[in-house]
Structure formats: C-alpha cells, structure tokens
C-alpha cells in the first residue's frame, strides 16, 4: 500500500513541473521513495511472491539516491572484533546491491524457464556469491565457524551491540536471497528432473550426458551450504542473546524459507552420505525452529512456522 501510494505521488521524481520544492523537500521525497522500494522488495521476497514493481520501468524500480549509500569502509580497517564491524552507516552501504539482487531473485523464481534455466540460474547465483565475497572478512566470518569465540570488549557500548545486530540482519538478508534461489532449483529438480537435466545438458553442450543423480547431489549440496551458513549465524546470534529480542520480526519468514531446504533434503533418497545429510538436516531444523520460537515473542506467526518445520521433519523421516 505504501509503495503504491509513493508511486502514485511520483516520489521517484524529486522535481515536479509546476511546483517549487526546496532542497529539504526534494531530499524527503527521494528518501521516502528509496525506503518504500527497499521494503517492498524485502516484503515480497519473504512472502515468496513476485515484486509488485516487476513490470514497472527500471528507472522507477531501481532508483535509489546514490547519496544514501556511502562507500564501504577500507579493508585494512576491518578486524574480527565486534567493535570493529563498522558503523550502521557503513554497513548499510552493502544493502543497495543486495536489494537489487533480491529483486532479481524474486523475479527469477516466479518465471517460467526453458533450456537456458541453468545458465540464467548460475549467472544470478554467481552474482550473489560475488556480493558475499565483497563483504569484509570480519562480516563474513559471522556466518562461519560458529564455535569460535566472538572477540568482544568487556563492556560493549550500545552502539557496538547495535552494529552487531545490524551486521547479522544484513547477512540474514543475503542468506535468504541465496536460500530462496537455491531452494527453487532444488524444488524444480525434485518435481521436474527431466527439465533440469535437459537445461543442464544445454548449459554444458548439446551432446553432454548429464547424470540425474549426480546433478541432484550437486544441487542439494549447494542448497545445504546456504542453509548451514544461516544455521551458523543463528547459533551465534542465540549465543549472544538466547531470546533474539534484538532481531526484527520480519526476518522470520526468510528464516522459515531457508529452513525448508532441510525439510526438502530429508525427502531425498539414494544419495551418497545420506546419514550425514539427515544429521545436518535435523540439527538445522532444530536451530531454525528454536529461532522462530524466539521470534514469536514479537511475531506471532513464528510459532506456527516453527511447528510447521518440526511437523515437516517428522513427515519426511
């Protein structure tokens, strides 16, 4: 509703013919439009629905004022300490390209794909990987090696804690974009294996003979990699605050979507290392369900999502 109203008011245009706006009024229009577009992209991604602005001209869909996005901090200034993760201002610099990628994922998973499906998927997946690699190592490390200690000051300031949770939220957004994309391919190969095998053969060359079981194993491994990264991040967040009261509730739907990767993996049969896969899935579902239970304190549907994950796990095993 807010995004539609902003579009009707032409807030994407800082200047309006026939009206005299001062610099402050123009800046308010630009920032309001940028904020509504960002939230629209995130909301529709979490709902697994196409963006309302999918067919609106690119100028309208993607216009976010450059001045809202300061450049990222220099690499040499980043060390793996909570107080060094960066300020809210600089962390948000990484949000602009992620919002664009969110929109591409939202559009991609809603489209019908032909023989170029794997080629187009790999292009988008590579762009998401490139975004993660653009993050400072201290930020990426929050999603890996969850058992390693977090180097905290003895008495972190409120700003340092805030930066930590903003960093976690940024990573969650990235994991949700990658998780939804890879879950889509996993769903497709489980429901339409011939279509995916044909597209994979086209990507490799018309004469390529693609083994369906090997392809499924690769797709599953890629999907589990993203789900595991989110599991590591959730473990870290739960260790810092077992109630997750600092995380915003709109993350719940994305956490649920990525958790479904584990449920789908439980339904696969005949793959090498099946017992290890089951163990990873059970642990991942447990962490995701626990996190959703905690988020239910501020988002009532979190409990229902956690219950759905646990029931799906029982049905799959």
pLDDT tens digits for range 108-148? 888 888 889 999 999 999 999 999 998 888 788 888 765 55
Q: Give tens-digit pLDDT for 225-262.
A: 999 999 999 998 888 888 877 676 678 888 998 999 99
Residue 301 confidence class, pLDDT cut points 50, 70, 90: confident
Q: Which of the two residues, 72 and 279, has the higher pLDDT score?
A: 279
The DSSP letter of residue 67 is G
Helices 158-191, 117-134: crossing angle, 10 deg rounding = 170
What pLDDT is stored for residue 252 in this prediction? 84
Structure-block tokens of residue 90? 């600089």
Q: How far is residue 68's CA from residue 92's CA, in Å, rounded to a whole number?
A: 9
Q: Which of the two residues, 185 and 82, has the higher pLDDT score?
A: 185
What pLDDT is stored for residue 139 in this prediction? 80
Helices 193-204, 212-240: crossing angle, 10 deg rounding = 100
- In the block, which residue shows the tokens 């083994």? 211
Closest CA to 73 of 152, 134, 19, 20: 134
What pLDDT is stored for residue 57 in this prediction? 40
Q: How far is residue 260's CA from residue 180's CA, in Å, rounded to a whole number?
A: 9
**CA 177 → CA 68, 96, 106, 110, 127, distances in Å?**
22, 14, 8, 14, 11
Structure-block tokens of residue 88? 């809210």
Q: What is the mean pLDDT of the chain?
A: 76
Q: How far is residue 13's CA from residue 24's CA, in Å, rounded to a whole number?
A: 14
Backbone angles phi, psi at 49, to 5 degrees: -125, 155
C-alpha neighbours within 13 Å on the C-beta side of residue 171: 30
Q: Above 70 in pLDDT, residue 180? A: yes
The DSSP letter of residue 155 is S
Query: b or e along 117-146 (b: 16 or more beta carbons within 10 Å of the residue's beta carbon)?
Result: bbeebeebbeebeebbeebbebbbbbbeeb
What pLDDT is stored for residue 137 in this prediction? 80
3-state secondary structure of 112: coil
The DSSP letter of residue 14 is S
Closest CA to 217 of 269, 154, 165: 269
Whether pTM exceeds 0.85: no
Closest CA to 250 of 302, 307, 288: 302
Residue 36 confidence class, pLDDT cut points 50, 70, 90: confident
Q: How far is residue 19's CA from residue 17's CA, in Å, rounded to a whole number?
A: 6
Q: Above 50 in pLDDT, residue 304? A: yes
- 184-191: long-range contacts, CB 8 A cutoff, minimum separation 24: 184/108, 184/109, 185/121, 185/219, 185/222, 185/223, 186/219, 186/220, 186/223, 186/261, 186/264, 186/265, 187/264, 188/117, 189/215, 189/216, 189/219, 190/216, 190/264, 190/267, 190/268
């Amino acid at each position: 509703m807010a995004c539609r109203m902003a579009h009707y008011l032409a807030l994407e245009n800082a200047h309006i013919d026939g009206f005299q706006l001062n610099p402050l009024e123009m800046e308010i229009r630009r920032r309001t439009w940028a904020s509504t577009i960002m939230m629209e992209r995130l909301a529709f991604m979490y709902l697994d629905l196409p963006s309302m602005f999918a067919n609106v001209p690119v100028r309208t869909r993607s216009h976010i004022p450059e001045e809202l996005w300061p450049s990222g901090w220099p690499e040499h200034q980043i060390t793996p300490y909570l107080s060094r993760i960066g300020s809210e201002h600089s962390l948000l610099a990484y949000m602009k390209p992620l919002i664009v990628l969110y929109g591409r994922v939202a559009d991609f998973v809603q489209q019908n794909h032909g023989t170029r499906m794997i080629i187009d998927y790999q292009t988008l997946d590579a762009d998401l990987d490139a975004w993660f690699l653009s993050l400072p190592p201290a930020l990426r490390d929050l999603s890996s090696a969850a058992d390693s200690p977090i180097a905290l000051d003895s008495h972190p300031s409120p700003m340092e804690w805030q930066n930590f949770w903003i960093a976690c939220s940024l990573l969650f957004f990235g994991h949700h974009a990658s998780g939804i994309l890879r879950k889509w391919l996993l769903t497709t190969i489980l429901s339409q294996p011939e279509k995916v095998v044909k597209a994979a053969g086209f990507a490799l060359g018309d004469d390529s003979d693609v083994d369906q079981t090997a392809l499924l194993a690769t797709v599953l491994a890629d999907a589990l990699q993203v789900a595991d990264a989110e599991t590591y991040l959730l473990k870290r967040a739960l260790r810092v605050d077992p109630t997750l009261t600092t995380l915003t509730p709109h993350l719940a739907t994305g956490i649920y979507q990525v958790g479904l990767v584990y449920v789908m993996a439980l339904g696969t049969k005949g793959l090498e290392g099946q017992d290890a896969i089951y163990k990873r899935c059970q642990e991942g579902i447990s962490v995701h369900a626990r996190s959703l239970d905690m988020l239910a304190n501020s988002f009532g549907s979190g409990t229902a999502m956690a219950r759905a994950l646990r029931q799906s796990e029982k049905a799959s095993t």
